[in-house]
Amino acid sequence: MAEEFASAPHFVGARIPRTEDSRLLRGEAQYLDDIQIPNLLEMAFVRSPYAAARILSVDSSAAWNIPGVRAVFTFADMPFVLPQNGPSPIDQPVLARERVRHAGEAVVAVVAESRYIAEDACEAVHVAYTPEEPVLDMQAAQKDRPRRVHDAAPNVFYHQEYETEGFQAAFDTAPHRLTMTFQTTRQTACSLETRGIIAAADPFSGRMTVYCGTQSPHRLRGDLAEMLQMEEHLLRVIVPEVGGAFGMKAATYPEYLAVVQAARLLRQPVKWTADRVESFLSDVHARDDIHDLEVAFDQRGQIIAVKDHLMADGGAYASYPFSGAIGETSLAAKVITGPYDIAHLSTVIDCTYSNKVPLGAYRGVWGPVASFVQEGMVDRIAQFLHLDAAEVRRTNLVQPNQLPYRNAAGMLYDSGSFTESFEHALAQLDYTRWRATQEQARRVGKYLGIGLSNFVEPTAMASSEAGSIGYESCSVRVEPSGTVTAWLGLGPSGQGHETTMAQVLADQLGVDLEHIVVLHGDTDAAPLGGGTGGSRSGPLGGGAAMQAGRKMRERLDVYAAHMLEAAVEDIAWEHGRAHVRGVYARHVSLRDIARIAYNDVRQIPSGLPIGLEVTERYQPPRPVSFSNGTHAAVVEVNPSTGQVTVLDYVVVNDCGTLINPLIVEGQIHGGVAQGVGAALLESLVYDDSGQLLTTTLMDYLLPSAPLVPRMRIEHLVTPSDGALGVKGMGEGSLIASPAAIAGAVNDALSPWGVSFERLPIAPRDIVTSLGRSSAAPV
Partner 1 sequence: MYTAPFDYRRAHDTQEVVTWLQEDPDNTKIIAGGHSLLPLMKLRLASVARLVDISQVAELQGIREDMGGLRIGAFTRHAQLAKDPAVREAAPLLASAAAVIGDMQVRNRGTIGGSLCHADPAADLPAALLALNAELVIAGPGTERRESLDAFFLAPFITTLAADEVLTAIVVPRMVPGAKSTYLKRPHPASGYPVIGVAAWVSVSGGRVEDCRIALTGIGPVPFRAARSEQVLTGRAFSREAIAEAAREAAGSGTLEDDEDGYKSQLCQVYVSRALGDIAQGAG
Q: Could you list the residues that contact partner 1 (CB under 8 A)?
A: 115-116, 119-120, 123, 275-277, 640-643, 681, 696-704, 707, 764, 767-768, 772, 775, 777
CB-nearer residue toward partner 1: 370 or 681: 681
CB-nearer residue toward partner 1: 128 or 697: 697
**Which of 662, 616, 321 is CA-nearest to residue 487?**
616
Tell me the helix, strand and coil percentages in the chain, rounded to 5: 35, 25, 40
Distance from C-alpha of 309 to C-alpha of 307, rounded to nearest angstrom: 7
* Residue 200 to residues 29, 274, 326, Cα–Cα distance (Å): 21, 18, 35
**Least distance from partner 1 to the Cβ atom of residue 703, Å:** 8
CB-nearer residue toward partner 1: 416 or 703: 703
CB-nearer residue toward partner 1: 560 or 672: 672
**Which of 261, 218, 205 is CA-nearest to residue 82?**
261
CB-nearer residue toward partner 1: 115 or 177: 115
Distance from C-alpha of 691 to C-alpha of 19, rounded to nearest angstrom: 44
Distance from C-alpha of 521 to C-alpha of 248, rounded to nearest angstrom: 17
- What type of residue is 554? E
Q: What torsion, rounded to 10 degrees, do the Cα atoms 725, 729, 733, 736 define? A: -70
**Least distance from partner 1 to the Cβ atom of residue 754, Å:** 14
- What type of residue is 126? H
Distance from C-alpha of 364 to C-alpha of 675, rounded to nearest angstrom: 10
CB-nearer residue toward partner 1: 302 or 641: 641
**Which of 599, 602, 596, 594 is CA-nearest to residue 477?**
594
Element (H, E) at 260: helix 254-266
Q: What torsion, rounded to 10 degrees, do the Cα atoms 457, 158, 355, 335 define? A: -20
**Least distance from partner 1 to the Cβ atom of residue 762, Å:** 10
CB-nearer residue toward partner 1: 193 or 498: 193
Distance from C-alpha of 359 to C-alpha of 181, rounded to nearest angstrom: 21
Helices 367-385, 732-748: crossing angle, 10 deg rounding: 30
Distance from C-alpha of 618 to C-alpha of 471, rounded to nearest angstrom: 5
Q: What torsion, rounded to 10 degrees, do the Cα atoms 548, 550, 555, 558 define? A: 180
CB-nearer residue toward partner 1: 444 or 698: 698
CB-nearer residue toward partner 1: 542 or 642: 642
Count CA within 13 A, CB hemisphere, residue 72.
26
By DSSP bridging, strand 303-313 and strand 126-131 are unpaired
**Least distance from partner 1 to the Cβ atom of residue 640, Å:** 5
By DSSP bridging, strand 712-716 and strand 644-654 are parallel
**Least distance from partner 1 to the Cβ atom of residue 772, Å:** 5
CB-nearer residue toward partner 1: 465 or 682: 682
**Least distance from partner 1 to the Cβ atom of residue 643, Å:** 8
Biggest CA–CA distance in the chain, Å, is 92
CB-nearer residue toward partner 1: 37 or 277: 277
**Least distance from partner 1 to the Cβ atom of residue 187, Å:** 14
**Least distance from partner 1 to the Cβ atom of residue 702, Å:** 7
Q: Which residues pair with 451 in a beta bridge?
A: 633
Q: How many Cβ atoms sit within 10 Å of the Cβ of residue 89?
A: 11
CB-nearer residue toward partner 1: 68 or 719: 68
**Least distance from partner 1 to the Cβ atom of residue 74, Å:** 22
**Which of 715, 766, 760, 713 is CA-nearest to residue 741?**
760
CB-nearer residue toward partner 1: 629 or 677: 677
CA of residue 613 relative to chain centroid, distance: 32
Indicate the SS3 state at residue 261. helix
CB-nearer residue toward partner 1: 152 or 444: 444
CB-nearer residue toward partner 1: 275 or 721: 275
**Least distance from partner 1 to the Cβ atom of residue 768, Å:** 4
Distance from C-alpha of 417 to C-alpha of 440, rounded to nearest angstrom: 33
Count CA within 13 A, CB hemisphere, residue 97.
15
**Least distance from partner 1 to the Cβ atom of residue 769, Å:** 9
Distance from C-alpha of 51 to C-alpha of 133, rounded to nearest angstrom: 8
Helices 217-227, 254-266: crossing angle, 10 deg rounding: 60
CA of residue 728 relative to chain centroid, distance: 11
**Least distance from partner 1 to the Cβ atom of residue 707, Å:** 7
**Least distance from partner 1 to the Cβ atom of residue 587, Å:** 58
CB-nearer residue toward partner 1: 282 or 532: 282
CB-nearer residue toward partner 1: 719 or 763: 763
**Least distance from partner 1 to the Cβ atom of residue 667, Å:** 24
**Least distance from partner 1 to the Cβ atom of residue 122, Å:** 9
DSSP 621: S
Instruction: Give the Cα-Cα-Cα angle 394, 399, 400 (nearest 5 degrees).
Output: 135
CB-nearer residue toward partner 1: 606 or 773: 773
Distance from C-alpha of 282 to C-alpha of 600, rounded to nearest angstrom: 57
**Least distance from partner 1 to the Cβ atom of residue 227, Å:** 28
Q: Give the E-state strand segments of 506-619 in sequence order.
A: 516-520, 571-574, 577-580, 583-589, 613-618
Residue 633: CB partners within 8 Å, gap ≥ 6? 450, 451, 453, 646, 648, 649, 650, 709, 737, 740, 741, 743, 744
**Least distance from partner 1 to the Cβ atom of residue 361, Å:** 24
**Least distance from partner 1 to the Cβ atom of residue 680, Å:** 9
